[in-house]
C-alpha cells in the first residue's frame, strides 16, 4: 500500500487530492487511512479494488452524514480539479 505522500505525488494531471470519506467511483483512487479505519473498512476497500481490477463496477454508496463512504472509512481521494 502506498504512503500518503506517494499517493499525493502520484496525483494525475487534472485531479486534486482531498481527505474525507470515499465519494464513489474508482476505489483505486482512494487511499484509506490505516490508522483511523477499522479492519472491516480496510477489507471492504481491498475487495472493491479487486472487483474493479476484474472489470466489475460494484455499486457504492456515496458518503453522507450518517455513513462512512461505502464502508471504506476515511482517507485520501483523487477528484476532478476544482476551479
pLDDT tens profile 4-49: 999 999 999 999 999 998 888 899 999 999 999 999 989 999 999 9
Q: What is the pTM of this model?
A: 0.83
What is the pLDDT, as a whole number, of residue 62?
Answer: 53
Closest CA to 30 of 51, 58, 11, 13: 11
Instruction: List Cα–Cα distances, 40 to 9, 14, 30, 43, 80, in angstroms.
Output: 27, 32, 16, 5, 28
**Number of neighbours of residue 33 by Cβ within 10 angstroms:** 14
What is the pLDDT, as a whole number, of residue 65?
Answer: 45
Q: Which three cell numbers stand for residue 68?
A: 462512512
**Which residue in the block uniquely carries the three cell numbers 454508496?**
61
Amino acid at each position: 500500500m502506498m504512503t500518503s505522500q506517494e499517493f499525493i505525488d502520484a496525483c494525475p494531471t487534472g485531479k486534486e487530492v482531498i481527505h474525507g470519506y470515499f465519494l464513489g467511483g474508482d476505489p483505486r483512487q482512494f487511499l484509506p487511512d490505516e490508522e483511523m479505519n477499522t479492519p472491516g473498512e480496510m477489507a471492504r476497500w481491498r475487495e472493491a479494488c479487486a472487483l474493479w481490477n476484474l472489470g466489475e463496477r460494484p455499486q457504492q454508496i456515496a458518503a453522507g452524514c450518517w455513513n462512512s463512504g461505502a464502508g471504506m472509512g476515511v482517507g485520501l481521494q483523487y477528484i476532478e480539479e476544482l476551479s
